[in-house]
Amino acid sequence: MTALVLTALALLLSLFAPVLLRRARWLRRSPAAAIVLWQAVALAAVLAALGALLAAPEEILRTLHGGEITFGPALIAGAAAAFLLAGAVIVRLAVVTIRLAVHTRRRRKRHVGMLDLLQGAEEGDRHQLHVLAARLPLAYCVPGSPGRIVLTDAALDLLDEHETEAVIAHERAHLAMRHDLVTEAFTALHAAFPRWVRSRLALEEVGRLLEMLADDATVRSQGAAPVRSALEKLAATSEDGENIRVRLARLHSPSTAAPRAAAAAAYVLAVAVLAVPTLAVVTPWLRSAMNALVLG
């Protein structure tokens, strides 16, 4: 039964948990804890899938032999196949992660090179803030060492001084908290999963939570008013208008419930989600080991 339970759990965590988590608006009171919960769900789904693969051979043989199982060629072959499949899953995840990391860093290096070329920066004279000529008001950051912040002159024309400082602080928060690594991890996991069990909801919601986390950091340093007004001005021309509206609603109507309570609940759920597949895999083996010790 362990393999069936873990298979069902892996599918539940991959397909249905993202839908439930996205609907849980209370998680947005504490974006950092919510991201930890999303990470726990993703990791638990992988652990459950691996556990199902490893538990399947023994349970299949028990079913075929009326509950009795003996060490022999069939068990060895089944265990070997299970370990090969589990290893293939791990290798695929590692390869996808490494490939994505290499590609992302190459792309960022080219981007930074273009920024320096456009602004005529000399070696050793690299500015963290770049202003580009463009018709659309844009603001974004390019992670790296050091990271770069890019604004268009259209954004500077649109925003006042305090709003501009808030936008720059927002991007600096992304760089300081290394949000790019969180995004990379979820992107790699999404790409490594089979199409029929993966969902874009995790990627989308984690991206939104990261923006909220940077919003909170900016509010602490710049105040809420310039953050709200800057978002309102940028929402009109942004392709990500829906996410900006969600962030604005959160900033305009801060929850009266304690963020610490939401964070505590999210962390407890994260631990519980990780504990279920771990215990499901470990408990039968511990039981067998204890029985062997007692009988021995």
The token duo for 58 is 């023994």
* pLDDT of the residue at 124: 46
pLDDT digits (tens, 9 = 90+) for 240-266: 777 888 999 899 876 645 678 889 999
Predicted confidence band at 238 (pLDDT cuts at 50, 70, 90)? confident
C-beta atoms surrounding 168 within 10 Å: 19
CA distances from 210 to 48, 135, 174, 215 (A): 26, 27, 8, 9
| HSE-up (13 A, CA, CB side) for residue 123 | 0
Q: Of 156-170, 223-237, 271-285, give the lowest mean pLDDT range.
A: 271-285
Three-state secondary-structure class, residue 122? coil
CA distance 292 to 273: 30
Q: Where is pLDDT greater, at 155 or 256?
A: 155
Structure tokens at 262: 């939401």
Torsion, Cα 126 127 132 136, to 10 degrees, reads 130
Query: How many separate helices (H) and strands (E) can be counted in the chain?
Result: 11, 3
pLDDT at 114: 87
- What is the mean pLDDT of the segment spanning 131-156? 90
Query: What was the pLDDT predicted at 281?
Result: 65
Strand ranges inside 92-189, DSSP E: 129-132, 139-142, 148-152
Beta-bridge partner residues of 144 = none
HEC per residue, 111-137:
HHHHHHHHCCCCCCCCCCEEEECCCCC
HSE on the CB side for 220, CA within 13 Å?
7
Q: What would the DSSP string read from start to end of 196-224?
A: GG--SHHHHHHHHHHHHHHHHHHHHHH-H
DSSP-based three-state secondary structure for 121: coil
pLDDT digits (tens, 9 = 90+) for 160-190: 999 999 999 999 999 999 999 999 999 999 9
User: Residue 248 corresponds to which tokens in the numbers above?
Assistant: 């604005």
